[in-house]
Structure 1
Amino acid sequence: MRLYRRLAAATAAVLFVIAVPYEALSSSPAREDPGADPFGAACRVRTAGSRVTAYCHNPYPEPDRLQLHIECLRWWDLDGDSAPVTAGPATTVRLTGRCWHEVGAVWVSHARAGAR
């Protein structure tokens, strides 16, 4: 009975990870409103232990200012924000950061290059 519960919990966790659509993991401002001007780099975020790497590709003609935000899991671990990086048209940029221990949450913010 105990083995069945562990197997059921592990199966449910794997199905949840598989079932989460890619669009929910990587959002950009261009996907929020289909009628808006095309804008916003598509980002893939990878977490390996306490290190975070984000690769963002901007397929649009307008530059996108990107910033990586990391929220660490431990209360005493400092959260971090990367310096803003501008991704020009048809450009891929890499953003990195880390926590001392576990990573709690990660997201990438987008802004139009002319806005501050």
Structure 2
Amino acid sequence: MRLSRSFAPVTTAVALLIALPYQAMPYARVQTAKEHTRGAQPPAEPDPFGAECRTHVIGSRVVAYCHNPYADTDRVSLHIECDPWWDIDSDGAAVAAGPAQTVRLTGRCWQEVRSAWVSHQRQVPASSAPDGT
């Protein structure tokens, strides 16, 4: 027996509805009275962190100014990649940029600078640092 052409779309639609997962159905998620009264909790946003740094390359010298507008201390380091293969790349020591503080980082290559960037690290408060025992 051959199905009529009008039955084919109906059969396909029923098969798709049966195959859909339960969570995809519009009636699947019903709030209880307890959930409705307390409301949904928004996801916690992380604290803002990180100094804003501006890096300037002048010939073979690099100067970076980093300003930290946030309450947490940011430890910033200047990294310089030199252009000639024989010129040594450098990674500067980490400098603490406290709240509302601007720090100046400097470095140089013997010849040309290929790239320079600043890395950031959140400083761990002394009270939560491991004591080594």
- TM-score (normalised: structure 1): 0.68
Amino acid at match of 2:58: A
Give 2:77's match in structure 1, choosing from 59, 62, 67.
67
Structure 1 residue 37: deviation in Å? 1.4
Whichever of the two has the greater Rg, that structure is 2
1:48 is matched with which residue?
58
What is the CA deviation profile of residues 63-108 of structure 1, one whole-angstrom value per residue up to 9, with x for unaligned ones? Answer: 0000000000110000001111000000000000000000001110
Structure-2 separation of matches of 1:114 and 1:79: 28
2:103 is matched with which residue?
93
What is the CA deviation profile of residues 11-43 of structure 1, one whole-angstrom value per residue up to 9, with x for unaligned ones? Answer: xxxxxxxxxxxxxxxxxxxxxxxx431000000
User: Is 1:79 aligned with 2:98?
Assistant: no
Gaps of 5+ in 1: 1-34
Structure 1 residue 114: deviation in Å? 1.3
Secondary structure at the counterpart of residue 62 of structure 1: coil
**Percent identical:** 64
Structure-2 separation of matches of 1:114 and 1:107: 22
Structure 1 residue 60: deviation in Å? 0.1
Q: CA RMSD in A?
A: 1.5
Give 1:108's match in structure 2, choosing from 101, 115, 118.
118
* Structure having the larger proportion of residues in strand: 1
2:21 is matched with which residue?
none
Gaps of 5+ in 2: 1-44, 126-133
Moved over 3 A (4+): none
